[in-house]
């Protein structure tokens, strides 16, 4: 605990003076006190505490002994007893032997005690009172500097304390002695967590999962899969939004690179495939653990104590390549990482906010949870989540749902005896709305199937920002069922591209087609064959012009990809307009627009003979030109396989 560290060493500095003046003159009591100090320096705390108590028993006005005994009790975590002794000593301050230095020492004692108790308003107030009394030499120490920084931080936080109501997850969850690190799929229908039977060396970890029922309850947890859970330890996992890619930690397995490694498994056609070690590009000879996948599984964040970092544990990341391999892991940098520890990263579903735990950034004590926002591709300075999410104890990890309604976490209860061992339970609370997590996300599902046979198709679905051609999310449909999941940011201008080699691509304009409101989208993919045709969506022109707008680049790239994947296919690009204006003019305009698409493809390297063009003007409307919306639908480009 950071506050204990400040207390312990700060007191040694402030009290151990070369010419110590005591508040009493009883030499026997003073000798007991000095013996306690020697034992303290040797870290023989129980024996030292006995000496201090003996000094107090001999001389009840021994102010310094009360302080040292209280300090040791704080170090040992016995805060109630520490407070009793501190108050007993403070009651003696009115004596004739008490000095302003004693008042300062007790003020410093209670500042630290209140910090360890989580009584932050009291700690802040006590520090304001004692600060003018502290010795100027002590104020030059690192211990004072750290305390002053924490008090300045508290001054910014105490006026904005929120409220949360914690609730333990109901039966049949939490039926094991230890369960921790919960994660959920984007729809909230599946929870995964690490289950451990006890704290002994032979009590192994496994990954368990449970599903939401129609009545809102949970199914009895079961091991995720026999292909994943093994005689070794599997735990601390992360799963993609659709639940089809799993990365987890396993320690001391036969094929491990170091003490703990990251492993990856894919669910194909509804069944988990055999996992594999992520290899030396991701893992190291050190500790690699606590993975967090981005929603679509293209980015991996994790914590590691390998060489090349800034402190003990740092956050590292790796990127999934187009061929499915993973890039060489890189350190996330010193904006987030510090000389201390950064652990438990969690990338929120919008790929724009990273949560993590740290004791290296200014906080309330121990490990606090922070978030860092991504702006222009760069992680920004971390923000403390504040009270009461953080407090004087260690906060290790949060998982926040895609809907931003609940945060899931683990809470440890220390056992009082062997008959009452430690327990860790899964909890949740409503995540505060005042902590901005970006625009809302809509989670929808659908199916992809063959338009000719009705069979499921394992296609790739890419949600692409039409503003800058960046892929927001990329998922695959299940080859056995055709099922897929997609996330839609509320305000993004985006296109949905459904692609499978051997099929014509299916292209949607998310906003115009109102896909965010379609809860069960049926996507029909047509096999490549002569005479088949599709609407080439998201190709944009200004009114009465044929120059391609920058927002068209995403669709143009997809058409180029389709033609390179199908080298024997030639196409006819047809331009269409609405019925506004002269028919001859519209025919010429539509032809020039088709030629603009052709020009792009030729410039990319395709042979001109594979790409024919024509202008249809307003002669083949898709719908009647009765409304502006219908007219917009009729202004289009179509692609026909020759």
Residues 133-143, mean pLDDT to the nearest whole number: 93
Q: What is the mean pLDDT of residues 7-20?
A: 44
Spatial separation of the C-alpha atoms in residues 637 and 642, rounded to whole Å: 16
pLDDT tens digits for 490-535?
Answer: 988 999 999 999 999 999 999 999 999 898 999 999 999 999 999 9
* Residue 291 Rama label (left phi>0; alpha psi -120 to 50; beta): beta
What pLDDT score was predicted for residue 202? 62
**Which token pair is 440?**
């809302």
CB 42 within 8 A of CB 72: no
Cβ neighbours around 370 below 10 Å, total: 23
Q: What is the pLDDT of residue 416?
A: 66
Tokens for 105? 């020492």
pLDDT tens, 343-392?
A: 999 999 999 999 999 999 999 988 999 999 999 999 999 999 999 999 99
SS3 73: helix
- pLDDT tens digits, 575-607: 999 898 899 999 999 999 999 999 999 999 999
Q: For residue 153, give every residue at least 6 positions away whose Cβ sits within 8 Å of its Cβ, in sequence order, or none.
A: 362, 363, 384
469-475 contacts, C-beta under 8 A, 24 or more apart: 469/553, 469/554, 469/557, 471/298, 472/351, 473/241, 473/295, 473/296, 474/296, 474/298, 475/240, 475/241, 475/242, 475/244, 475/296
Instruction: Give the tens place of pLDDT for each residue, 406-443.
Output: 999 999 877 666 667 788 999 999 999 999 999 999 99
Confidence class for position 13, pLDDT limits 50, 70, 90: very low
Q: What is the mean pLDDT of the chain?
A: 93
Identify the band that residue 4 occupies on the pLDDT scale cut at 50, 70 and 90.
Answer: very low
pLDDT computed for residue 199 by the predictor: 67
Name the token pair of 403: 């809907």
Q: How many residues does the chain have?
A: 642
CA distance 485 to 99: 70
Q: What is the pTM of this model?
A: 0.92
Beta-carbon count within 10 A of 199 CB? 11
How far, in Å, CA of 452 to CA of 529, rounded?
Answer: 11
- Residue pLDDT, tens place only, 531-578: 999 999 999 988 888 999 999 999 999 999 999 999 999 999 999 998
CA proximity to 207, closest of 236, 185, 168: 236
Is 387:395 a contact under the CB 8 Å cutoff? no
Contacts for 598 with CB less than 8 Å, ≥ 6 apart: 573, 608, 611, 613
Q: What is the pLDDT of residue 7?
A: 45
């Amino acid at each position: 605990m950071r506050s204990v560290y400040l207390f312990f060493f700060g007191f040694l500095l402030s009290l151990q003076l070369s010419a110590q003046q005591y508040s009493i003159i009883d030499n026997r009591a003073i000798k007991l006190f000095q013996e306690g100090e020697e034992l303290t320096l040797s870290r023989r705390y129980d024996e030292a505490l006995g000496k201090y108590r003996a000094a107090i028993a001999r001389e009840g006005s021994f102010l310094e002994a009360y302080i040292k005994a209280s300090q040791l009790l704080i170090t040992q975590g016995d805060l109630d007893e520490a407070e009793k002794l501190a108050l007993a000593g403070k009651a003696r301050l009115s004596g004739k032997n008490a000095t302003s230095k004693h008042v300062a020492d007790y003020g410093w004692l209670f500042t630290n005690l209140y910090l360890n108790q989580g009584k932050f308003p009291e700690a802040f107030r006590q520090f304001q009172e004692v600060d003018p009394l502290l010795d100027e030499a002590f104020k030059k120490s690192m211990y004072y500097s750290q305390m002053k920084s924490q008090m300045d931080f508290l001054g910014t936080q105490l006026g904005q304390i929120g409220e949360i109501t914690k609730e333990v997850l109901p039966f049949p969850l939490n039926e094991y002695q230890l369960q921790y690190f919960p994660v959920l799929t984007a729809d909230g229908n599946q929870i995964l967590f690490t289950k451990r039977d006890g704290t002994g060396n032979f009590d192994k970890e496994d990954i368990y999962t449970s599903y939401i029922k129609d009545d809102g309850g949970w199914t009895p947890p079961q091991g995720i899969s026999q292909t994943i859970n093994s005689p070794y330890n599997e735990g601390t996992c992360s799963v993609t939004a659709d639940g089809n890619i799993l990365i987890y930690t396993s320690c001391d397995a036969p094929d491990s690179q170091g003490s703990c490694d990251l492993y990856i498994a894919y669910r194909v056609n509804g069944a988990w495939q055999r996992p594999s070690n992520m290899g030396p590009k991701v893992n190291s000879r050190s500790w690699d653990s606590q993975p967090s996948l981005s929603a679509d599984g293209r980015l991996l964040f994790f914590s590691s104590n390998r060489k090349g970092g800034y402190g003990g544990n740092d956050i590292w990341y790796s990127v999934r390549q187009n061929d499915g391999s993973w890039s060489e892991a890189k350190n996330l940098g010193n904006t987030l990482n510090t000389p201390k520890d950064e652990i438990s990263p969690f990338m929120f579903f919008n790929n724009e906010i990273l949560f993590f735990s740290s004791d290296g950034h200014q906080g309330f004590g121990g490990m606090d949870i922070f978030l860092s926002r991504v702006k222009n591709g760069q992680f920004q300075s971390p923000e403390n989540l504040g009270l009461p999410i953080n407090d004087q104890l260690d906060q290790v990890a949060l998982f926040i749902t895609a809907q931003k309604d609940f945060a899931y976490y683990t809470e440890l209860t220390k056992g009082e005896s062997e008959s009452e061992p430690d327990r860790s339970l899964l909890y949740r609370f409503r995540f505060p709305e005042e902590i901005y997590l970006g625009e809302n996300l809509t989670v929808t599902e659908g199916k992809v199937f063959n338009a000719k046979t009705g069979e499921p198709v394992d296609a790739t679905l890419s949600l692409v920002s039409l503003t800058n051609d960046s892929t927001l999310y990329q998922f695959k449909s299940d080859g056995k069922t055709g099922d897929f999941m997609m996330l839609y940011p509320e305000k993004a201008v985006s296109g949905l591209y459904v692609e499978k080699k051997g099929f014509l691509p299916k292209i949607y304009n998310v906003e115009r087609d109102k896909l965010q409101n379609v809860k069960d989208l049926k996507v029909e993919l047509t096999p490549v064959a002569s005479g088949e045709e599709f609407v080439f969506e998201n190709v944009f022109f200004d009114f009465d012009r044929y120059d391609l707008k920058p927002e068209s680049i995403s669709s143009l790239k997809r058409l180029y990809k389709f033609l390179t994947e199908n080298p024997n296919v030639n196409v006819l690009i047809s331009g269409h307009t609405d019925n506004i204006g002269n028919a001859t003019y519209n025919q010429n305009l539509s032809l020039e627009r088709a030629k603009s698409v052709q020009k792009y493809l030729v410039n990319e390297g395709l042979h001109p003979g594979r790409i024919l063009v024509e202008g249809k003007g307003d002669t083949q409307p898709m719908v009647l030109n009765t409304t502006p919306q219908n007219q917009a639908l009729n202004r289009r480009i179509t692609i026909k396989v020759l």
